[in-house]
Amino acid sequence: MTGPGDTRYYQTFYGILTDDFTTTFGDLSAHHYHLVKSYVSDAASCVSTTNWITTGVEFIYPHRIKKIYAIEGVIEGQITLVANDAVSQVSDFQVQVIKLNADTTETVVANTGIISVNDDGTVFAYAGSVNEEVVYPFWIDVSTPQWFGENDRIVMKIDWDVNNSSTATVDLSHWNWASTEDIKITIPFVL
């Protein structure tokens, strides 16, 4: 529960994959997936999609929020999956918010659980076209404050086809393009 002196602050982040800029944090080096407060120039060297990976994809916000702060309230956002062939499918997805410590150990502080969607080629590749996308919104209620310190970082992890990797033929879309907002998360902080 927040007290009378607490300040609520909502920050929206977007997920992009940079070609050249990397983050080094603790044992983590050369990490290219980033959470940003606003999109960088659309001429920036970025990658637009990621093929399915068994371990999921982790976007890091590489900066401090404050010396001590908490996440409390409703986290909301969206992910975008895109067809890479005419029969693309996805069975489910999961979004996790992770506290990344300086030694790169991870603690899951909030997650959606595995959300079953069972969307097949008729949803993703209407009339046999490719590159059709589907946006999946999510909400996570964090009723108990999850505390972070100045040496912790926030990570958004996205998994898809968690329970059914045999049909993992869609890609995760993370265009550096403000009009699409492919990967978007709004986090409620108590400062």
* pLDDT tens per residue across span 152-167: 999 999 999 998 766 6
**One-character DSSP codes across 2-61:** --TT--EEEEEEEEEEESS--EEETTEEEE-EEEESS---TTS-EE-EE---TT-EEEEE
pLDDT given for residue 167 in this prediction: 65
Domain, as residue range, for 163? 8-190
Is 29 among the domain residues? yes
**Residue 184: CATH number of its domain:** 2.60.120
Amino acid identity at 96: Q
| Calpha distance 43→7 (Å, rounded) | 37
Residue 162, domain member (yes or no): yes
Q: Which residues contact 80 (CB under 8 A, 6 or more apart)?
A: 133, 134, 135, 136, 172, 173, 174, 180, 182, 183
Segment 50-72 shows an average pLDDT of: 93
Q: Are 16 and 49 in contact (CB under 8 A)?
A: no
Residue 106 domain flag: yes
Taking residues 18-24, report their average pLDDT: 85
pLDDT value of position 100: 93
* C-alpha distance across the termini of the chain, in Å: 13
More confident residue, 122 or 33: 33
Of residues 68 and 4, more confidence is placed in 68
Mean pLDDT lowest among 30-34, 119-123, 141-145: 119-123
For the cut 90, the answer to whether the pLDDT of residue 148 exceeds it is yes
pTM: 0.91
Residue 120, in any domain of the structure: yes
- pLDDT tens string 90-124: 899 999 999 998 788 999 999 999 999 978 777 77
The pLDDT-based confidence of 171 (bands split at 50, 70, 90) is: very high
Whether 3 maps to a domain, the answer reads no
Amino acid letter, residue 151 = N
Q: Is residue 179 part of a domain?
A: yes
Specify the pLDDT at position 3.
55
Do the domain assignments include residue 2? no
Average pLDDT, integer, range 171-182: 94
The answer as to whether 109 is a domain residue is yes
Given this model, what pLDDT does residue 166 score?
A: 66
Mean pLDDT rounded to a whole number for the chain = 89
pLDDT of residue 124: 76
